[in-house]
A and B are shown apart, each in its own frame.
Chain A
Amino acid sequence: MSRISIDQVKHVAHLARLAMTEEEAVAYTEQLDKMISFAELLNELDADNVEPTSHVLDMKNVMREDKANKGLPQDEVLKNAPEHQDGYIKVPSIIE
C-alpha cells in the first residue's frame, strides 16, 4: 500500500511553498513513499513512555541582560534585497 498519495504530495508542496509540475509530483510521490516506508522502521519500537529529546544539553531559559544593542545599518541590510524602494523591501502587491 502506498503511504502517500499524489494529492497529499501536492498539499505538502503547497505548505512548503514549492512550485511543482505534475511530473515532479509523480516522482516525489514515489520517492517520499520510499523514505516514509523506511522511517516506519521506528514503529518496531515501543517508545510510548519515553520522553522526547529536542535538545541534547540540559539548558533552560537562556537569558541575557535586557540591554538594547545596535541593529544592522539599513543600507547594508538592503544590499542583498532583490528589490527595494525608499528603504523598504519590495514584494508584489498583496491587496488588490
Chain B
Amino acid sequence: MSLFDHKVSELHQLLHKKEITVTDLVSESYKRIGEVEDKVQAFLTLDEERARQAAKKMDEKIGTDEAKGLLFGMPIGVKDNIVTKGLRTTSASKILENFDPIYDATVASKLHNAETITIGKLNMDEFAMGSSNENSGFQVTRNPWNLERVPGGSSGGSAASVAAGEVLFSLGSDTGGSIRQPASYCGVVGLKPTYGRVSRFGLIAFASSLDQIGPITRTVEDNAYLLQAISGVDPMDSTSANVDVPSYAESLTGDVKGLRIAVPKEYLAEGVNEEVRQSVLDALKVLGKLGATWEEVSLPHSKYALATYYLLSSSEASANLARFDGVRYGYRTPDPENLIDLYKKTRAEGFGDEVKRRIMLGTFALSSGYYDAYYKKAQKVRTLIKQDFENVFEKYDVIIGPTAPTPAFKIGENTSDPLTMYANDILTIPVNLAGVPGISVPCGFSDGLPLGLQIIGKHFDESTVYRVAHAFEQATEFHKQKPGL
C-alpha cells in the first residue's frame, strides 16, 4: 500500500494527527521514482534536494495553524511547459535544454502559496504538440499499464507519474485534449478547465486562444481541490476571467437526480472502438440508475473540428514560437554567418520535426494570399462549432462521450502519418474550440488498458462537471484499480 492510495483529505488528516510527516510524503515519491522511473520515464528533471529541505522545514509546522491548508505538504509533479523559478524548464525541447526560469508561472506561485512540494518536472510532447509523448526532444514516457504503449499526450508524463504512484497529483496543460486523453490512457482523472479559469502566465504558449492548465489526479475529489488552488483571475494574464470561483468540493454531493445528459451521436460514430462505445453506454446506465436522464443529440460541425483546430493552433503556434530565436535565451547555433542565419540555423537545429511541421503549416495559413482562405475560414468554422455546444447546452446540463476513440496505442504505431496521430484528439478538440470545461474519468478497461469517460460542461460550470464525475466514480470501481508495475 502506498501513501498515495489515500485522498488529499485523508493525508491531510494523517498529517494533522501527526501519524505521518511531510518528509514521509516526499520520501514516498522519491522511493517510488527509484523503483519504477527507469521503466516509466515520466520525469525530465527531479528537484529532490530542495523538496527534502522544504519538507524538513514544513514538518516543524505540523500541528500549528501554518499547516492548516489542505494541500500543505502534498507532493506534486509539474508539466515541463510551466515555468518554475530556478528549476530547469524545457517544454521537452532541445531549444530550451538548459533554460533556467527567472520567475514562476502564476500556477507555480499558487502552488507555492498552497505549500505543495514540487517533486520534479514532467515529460511531454515538445511544446505540447503531440498525442503520445513520442515527440519529446528527450525521452518517450511509457504507459504504466503496459510499457509497450504510449501514455498519451501531450501531458503524458503528468498522467503516467500519477498512475504509477510517483506523485500524488500533477499539473498538465490542454490545448486539444492534452490533459484528458493521457488521463484516459493512464486511468486517472484529468480536467481541462473553462478557457480563462486558470491563469496562463508562465505557461510556455502553444496556441494562446486554446491553452489551459489543469489538474491530473487519482480521484475527482482531489481534482476539485487542486483546481481550487490554481483557479482565478490574474492581472498578469488579461485572458484570465474575472468570474467568481465557487467551492468545487461543495458540488461533490453524489446527487445527479434530474440531471439532463446529452450524448452526441457524432461521438459514438464510426472510428470509435466498440469497447470504448460500450463503456460509455454502460456509464450512462450507471448515471441513469442514479436518476439522470440522457438523450442523443447532434453536434453537426464535429467533423470539421480537427481541420479547424490544426489551422488555428498551428497559426497561433507559428507566432508564439517566433520568440525562440537564439537571442535572449535557449539554444544558439555555434557558427552563424549573420543574424538571419543565426535565427534560421538555431531554429532548424533546436526544434523537432513535428514542431517545425506545425510552424510551417501555421506560417503558410497566415501568409499573404492564404490568410482568408485558411486562417479566417477556420475562425468562422470555430464559431459554428461553438454554437453547436451553445445550442445543446440550452436544454442539457452536461455532454457525455468517450475521451478518446481507442485505448492507448503502441509506441511507434502512429508515427509514420501525422494525420492518423491527429485523429486521436477528435473527441477532445471541439471542447477547446468552444472553450468549455471537460473532464476524463476512468470508465472501463479493454485488454487491461484503461478507458476514459468525457464529461463536458457549460462555460465556468466545472462544479456540475465535478458533480457528475464524482457521482459516477463513487458508483463504480474503475478508479480503484492500479497498474501492476
Min CB gap B323→A, angstroms:
11
Chain B, range 362-400, C-beta contacts under 8 Å to A: 363-365, 367, 374, 376-384, 386
Residues B382 and A18 in contact, CB atoms below 8 Å apart? no
Min CB gap A62→B, angstroms:
4
* B418 lies within 8 A of chain A by Cβ: yes
Q: In the assembled complex, which residues on chain B have CB atoms less than 8 Å from the CB atom of A43? A: 377
Q: In the assembled complex, which residues on chain B have CB atoms less than 8 Å from the CB atom of A23? A: none
Residues A82 and B344 in contact, CB atoms below 8 Å apart? no
Residues B367 and A15 in contact, CB atoms below 8 Å apart? yes
* B450 lies within 8 A of chain A by Cβ: no
* B434 lies within 8 A of chain A by Cβ: yes
Q: Across the two chains, which residue of chain B brings its CB closest to A75?
A: B102
As a 0/1 sequence over residues 311 to 348 of chain B, the CB contacts with chain A under 8 angstroms (1 = contact) are 10000001000100111111110001111111111011
Q: Classify chain A's interface size.
A: 35 or more
Q: Classify chain B's interface size.
A: 35 or more
Residues A47 and B384 in contact, CB atoms below 8 Å apart? yes
Residue in A8, A57, A82 whose CB lies within 8 Å of B326 = A82
Min CB gap A26→B, angstroms:
13
Residues B195 and A57 in contact, CB atoms below 8 Å apart? yes
Chain B, range 297-313, C-beta contacts under 8 Å to A: 301, 303-304, 306-308, 310-311
CA distance A21 to B57 in the complex (A): 55
Q: In the assembled complex, which residues on chain B have CB atoms less than 8 Å from the CB atom of A55? A: 209, 239
* A91 lies within 8 A of chain B by Cβ: yes
As a 0/1 sequence over residues 92 to 113 of chain B, the CB contacts with chain A under 8 angstroms (1 = contact) are 0000000110110000000000
CA distance A52 to B379 in the complex (A): 5
Q: Across the two chains, which residue of chain B brings its CB closest to A80?
A: B329
Q: Across the two chains, which residue of chain A brings its CB closest to B314?
A: A35
CA distance A76 to B73 in the complex (A): 29
Residues B344 and A45 in contact, CB atoms below 8 Å apart? no
Q: Across the two chains, which residue of chain A brings its CB closest to B324?
A: A17
Chain A, range 15-58, C-beta contacts under 8 Å to B: 15-20, 28, 31-32, 34-36, 38-45, 47, 50-57
* A13 lies within 8 A of chain B by Cβ: yes
Residues B376 and A59 in contact, CB atoms below 8 Å apart? no
A-B contact count (CB 8 A): 163
Min CB gap B58→A, angstroms:
27
* B268 lies within 8 A of chain A by Cβ: no
Residues B434 and A56 in contact, CB atoms below 8 Å apart? yes
Question: From DSSP, what is the main secondary structure of chain A's interface residues?
Answer: loop
* B196 lies within 8 A of chain A by Cβ: yes
* B360 lies within 8 A of chain A by Cβ: yes
Residues A12 and B367 in contact, CB atoms below 8 Å apart? yes
CA distance A41 to B331 in the complex (A): 38
* A87 lies within 8 A of chain B by Cβ: no
Min CB gap B379→A, angstroms:
3
Q: In the assembled complex, which residues on chain A have CB atoms less than 8 Å from the CB atom of B347? A: 16-19
Min CB gap B5→A, angstroms:
38
* A89 lies within 8 A of chain B by Cβ: yes
Q: In the assembled complex, which residues on chain A have CB atoms less than 8 Å from the CB atom of B339? A: 91-92, 94
Residues B304 and A41 in contact, CB atoms below 8 Å apart? yes
Residue in B100, B360, B434 whose CB lies within 8 Å of A80 = B100
Residue in B304, B359, B379, B419 whose CB lies within 8 Å of A45 = B304
Q: In the assembled complex, which residues on chain B have CB atoms less than 8 Å from the CB atom of A12? A: 360, 363-364, 367
* A72 lies within 8 A of chain B by Cβ: yes
Residue in B238, B345, B357, B384 whose CB lies within 8 Å of A28 = B357
Min CB gap B376→A, angstroms:
6
Residues B239 and A59 in contact, CB atoms below 8 Å apart? yes
Q: Across the two chains, which residue of chain A brings its CB closest to B301?
A: A45
* B235 lies within 8 A of chain A by Cβ: yes
CA distance A79 to B206 in the complex (A): 24
Q: In the assembled complex, which residues on chain A have CB atoms less than 8 Å from the CB atom of B235? A: 64
Min CB gap B250→A, angstroms:
24
Q: Across the two chains, which residue of chain B brings its CB closest to A61?
A: B238
Q: Across the two chains, which residue of chain B brings its CB closest to A49?
A: B380
Residues A53 and B382 in contact, CB atoms below 8 Å apart? yes
20 contacts between A and B (CB under 8 A): A17-B343, A17-B344, A17-B347, A18-B347, A19-B341, A19-B348, A31-B357, A34-B418, A34-B419, A36-B364, A39-B310, A42-B307, A43-B377, A52-B376, A55-B209, A56-B459, A59-B239, A62-B239, A80-B329, A91-B339
